[in-house]
Amino acid sequence: MMTTVLDRADIKAKYAAERAKRLRPEGNDQYQRLSGKFAALAADPYTPFIERAPVADHVTFAFVGAGMSGLVVGARLKEAGIDSFRLIDKAGGVGGTWYWNRYPGARCDTAAMIYLPLLEETGYIPSEKYVRGPEILAHCERIAAHYGLYDKALFHTEVSSIEWQEATRVWRITTNRGDDFTAKYVAIGTGPLHVAKLPGIAGIETFKGKSFHTSRWDYDYTGGDANGAPMDRLADKRVAVIGTGATGVQCIPQLARTAKQLFVFQRTPSSVDVRGNHPIDPQWFDSIARPGWQKRWMDNFVENMGGGIPSEDLINDGWTEISRRIREKALGSTPAWLAKAGMRAREAFNRPPIQMGTDRVRAAFEEADIEKMEEIRARIATVVQDPHTAEQLKPWYSQLCKRPCFSDEYLPAYNAPNTILVDTDGKGVEQITETGLVVGGKLYEVDCIIYASGFEYGANFQLKTGFDLKGRGGQMLSEYWADGLQTLHGLHMHGFPNAFAVQMNQGANMVSNIPHNIVDHAATIAQVVAHAERGGFAEIEPTQAAVSDWVQLILTAPPSMITSSDCTPGFWNNEGQGWNEKFRRSQGHPGGAGGFFRHIEAWRESGRRSGDFAGLVFSK
């Protein structure tokens, strides 16, 4: 007993020491955008730019962002009979994050059965449990084609302004391609992570070799392709990768296979758990694919990630394992107990569902987490042959402080003789020169630097999207949100009639399966828009009272496990700069994703039955 307590104290002291090394006073300001002198790095390497005439028409619904949000909302609107729909995107096609992130090895960590939306509607069977990026992009294109969403779409087009026209009660939209059109409804679904960022390393602009961000992969330079063809043009190149987050973990093994020399510059190691991928057998798929199966699977995932005791775990992945371990610690149960006894056992033991945020759950979380992280650290030592490298790859923080990663290829990559880990001891690369990168006073000369340095998160709305919404009375959305998000259900804003923000915060906030948030919002949008169209209403808008009540409810959410004070800094926790009310407003429903989905389904059901969508006003 004594040993365990001491071990835990040592581990926590180590976590605190590692956090202190990594903490930077500049917080999010340590990064820079792919603009100004770096603007060329933001260019689209995937689709040629095509000249077109500006549009000046009227559509019923305009959606900014042709990623999964725009696609799923478009699909649901088409199903509801709203045919006049326009997607607008700065990319050259649909797919959003999967359009841009074509780096080698890109794959989704969430099971395809629940991650790929509209599988039943499109009749598509994923090839594997965790599918590759090109398969996800192809599915996005499938949705667009299936629902006719390419008609009227504007690609390689950036919105300049969106303004509510009080006299005509429509939105006026202008773009950088000279478009000037109107829409009765607008929605913004530009994604939580779409503005690529570069590290603010001294001298970064002086580098004379090749460089690019992972979301703008230059296959002309590297050779190969997103489908896994070897990057043969790197055979004589010394390559540096900066960043070992979820992106770095996926592209580094591919680079290790082909580069003459690969230097991986690490600031904080990722936690890398086993992948456990396998093909999906079409016969097995047929056996489970009864009507409504995908919703059942998505709901089952939510149930397994939540505080109650699930009846079964259909997904059985690294995410549900995290929850299962916490639950077992909190309830003193075993996997067999959970699997066999399920809900009946809860009744038998007369135990309430676990309330996230209570001391009991926090203690259970800590115990389960230390156990898990010890396993993850031990695995490194068994896979990576060089003991010094293995030691440097060990993550010293709680698993949910950073995005957990899952890979069976990442750790073995460091056994390749051409692959060198350059650990920066939490400090980052010191300097970039004309010829290479400096760490610990040593210059590593390279031909190419690949920035796996991630994306802006939580930046203010206007900065992130490049445009602002001008609502009723000239109020800008960035002003309305200046002190933090304020919405009804994460979706509707007072003063911005017929406008929808398709995003996760103040809603389910489900980071482990982002499309679930989207699919749910799409159901709401299609329902309220169809209701307005059927009833001949000109405007849909929440009352400010409903918005304020909702924000107050969100502020009652228990502190999230990822904001813990011993967390290593990162984009999930505001770079360790504290969790003020502005950030707390970005939390989800206090009942977790399950609590939100239950609330919103009841809300939609009430609307369906009686036309009463509490908090929303429909006006003629």
Candidates 4-12, 59-67, 350-358, 446-454; binding stretch for ligand NDP (CB under 6 A): 446-454
Single out the segment in contact with ligand NDP by CB under 6 A; choices: 117-125, 355-363, 366-374, 451-459.
451-459
Shortest CB 105 distance to ligand NDP, Å: 9
Q: Rule CB under 6 A: is residue 252 a binding residue for ligand NDP?
A: no
User: Exposed (0-12), middle (13-18) or buried (19+): which is 38, by Cβ within 10 Å?
Assistant: middle
Tell me how far apart the alpha carbons of residues 489 and 471 are, in angstroms, rounded to a whole number: 19
Query: Dihedrals φ, ψ of 549, to 5°?
Result: -60, -40
The residue (of 273 and 541) whose beta carbon lies closer to ligand NDP is 273
Q: How far is the CB of 269 from ligand NDP (least distance, A)?
A: 8
Binding mask 562-581 for ligand NDP (x = CB under 6 A): --------xx----------
Binding residues for ligand NDP restricted to 187-206, rule: CB under 6 A: 193, 199, 201
Pairing of strands 180-188, 499-501: parallel
Beta strands in 267-393 (DSSP E): 272-273
Site for ligand NDP in 379-408 (CB under 6 A): 403
d(CA 335, CA 280): 25
Angstrom distance (rounded) from CA 588 to CA 546: 16
The least distance separating ligand NDP from the CB of residue 407, rounded to whole angstroms, comes to 8
| 315 is a contact residue toward ligand NDP (CB under 6 A) | no
Stretch that binds ligand NDP, among 83-91, 357-365, 424-432, 540-548 (CB under 6 A): 424-432
Residue of 69, 268, 304, 574 interacting with ligand NDP (CB under 6 A): 268
- Out of 267, 325, 494, 584, name the contact with ligand NDP by CB under 6 A: 267
* List 189, 307, 318, 428, residue binding ligand NDP (CB under 6 A): 428
DSSP 3-state of 480:
helix
Q: Are 437 and 240 in contact (CB under 8 A)?
A: yes
Q: Which of residues 91-150 bind ligand NDP (CB under 6 A)?
A: 107-109
Only segment of 50-58, 246-254, 383-391, 534-542 that touches ligand NDP (CB under 6 A): 246-254
The stretch among 49-57, 239-247, 352-360, 519-527 that binds ligand NDP (CB under 6 A) is 239-247
Decide: is 318 part of the binding site for ligand NDP (CB under 6 A). no
CB 586 within 8 A of CB 458: yes
| 454 in contact with ligand NDP (CB under 6 A) | yes
Residue ranges in 467-526 that form contacts with ligand NDP under rule CB under 6 A: none
Which of 243, 490, 507, 588 touches ligand NDP by CB under 6 A?
Answer: 243
Burial class (CB in 10 A: 0-12, 13-18, 19+), 235: exposed
Contacting residue, 250, 333, 487, 573, with ligand NDP by CB under 6 A: 250
Per the listing, tokens 């919404």 go with 469
Binding-site member from 429, 518, 519, 554 for ligand NDP (CB under 6 A): 429
Q: Is 67 in the site for ligand NDP (CB under 6 A)?
A: no
- What tokens does 15 get? 């976590």
Q: Smallest gap, in angstroms, from Cβ of residue 346 to ligand NDP?
A: 32
Q: Are 33 and 58 in contact (CB under 8 A)?
A: no
Nearer to ligand NDP, 320 or 424 (CB): 424
Q: How far apart are CA 86 and CA 67, in angstroms?
A: 13
Q: Please name the residues in contact with 341: beta carbons below 8 A apart, sequence gap of 6 or more.
A: 348
Return the residue of 22, 238, 324, 372 that touches ligand NDP, per CB under 6 A.
22
CB of 149 to ligand NDP, least distance (A): 24
Residue 175 binding ligand NDP, by CB under 6 A: no
The one among 15, 85, 171, 265 contacting ligand NDP by CB under 6 A: 265
Of residues 217 and 480, the one with the C-beta less far from ligand NDP: 217
Contacts for 539 with CB less than 8 Å, ≥ 6 apart: 169, 497, 498, 532, 617, 618, 619
Question: In the beta sheet, which residues pair with residue 59?
Answer: 183
Q: Where are the beta strands (DSSP E) in 78-192?
A: 85-88, 159-165, 170-175, 180-188
**Paired tokens of 455:** 């994306």
In the bound state with ligand NDP, the residue whose beta carbon lies nearer, of 22 and 470, is: 22
CA distances 582 to 318, 348, 506, Å, are 31, 42, 12
Beta-strand (E) ranges in 21-143? Answer: 31-33, 58-64, 85-88
Q: Which stretch binds ligand NDP (CB under 6 A): 33-41, 265-273, 276-284, 595-603?
A: 265-273
Cβ of residue 221: shortest distance to ligand NDP, in angstroms? 19
Query: Does 333 interact with ligand NDP (rule: CB under 6 A)?
Result: no
For the chain, the helix, strand and coil percentages under 3-state DSSP, each to the nearest 5: 45, 15, 40
Within 400-445, where are the H helices?
A: 410-413
| Amino acid at position 555, single letter | L
- By rule CB under 6 A, what count of residues binds ligand NDP? 28
Stretch that binds ligand NDP, among 170-178, 312-320, 453-461, 480-488 (CB under 6 A): 453-461
Tell me how far, at minimum, the Cβ of 15 lies from ligand NDP, in Å: 14
Contact at 8 Å (CB) between 116 and 515? yes
Neighbours of 13 (CB within 10 A): 12
**Smaller CB distance to ligand NDP: residue 73 or 108?**
108
Q: Which residue has tokens 């917080």? A: 27
Nearest CA among 451, 506, 469, 505 for reference residue 217: 451
Do 238 and 259 contact (CB within 8 A), yes or no?
A: yes
Q: Whats the size of the chain, residue-wise? A: 620
Smallest separation, CB 413 to ligand NDP (Å) = 15
Q: Closest approach of Cβ 316 to ligand NDP, in Å? A: 17
- DSSP conformation class of 196: B
H or E element, residue 554 = helix 544-555
Nearer to ligand NDP among residue 252 and residue 477 (C-beta): 252
Q: Which of residues 193 and 551 has its CB atom nearest to ligand NDP in the complex? A: 193
Cβ at position 22, least distance to ligand NDP in Å: 6
**Binding status of residue 373 toward ligand NDP by CB under 6 A:** no
Output the CA torsion sign for 146, 152, 158, 161: negative
Asked if 453 touches ligand NDP (CB under 6 A), the answer is: yes
* Contact residues: ligand NDP, CB under 6 A: 22, 107-109, 193, 199, 201, 242-248, 250, 265, 267-268, 403, 424, 428-429, 452-455, 570-571
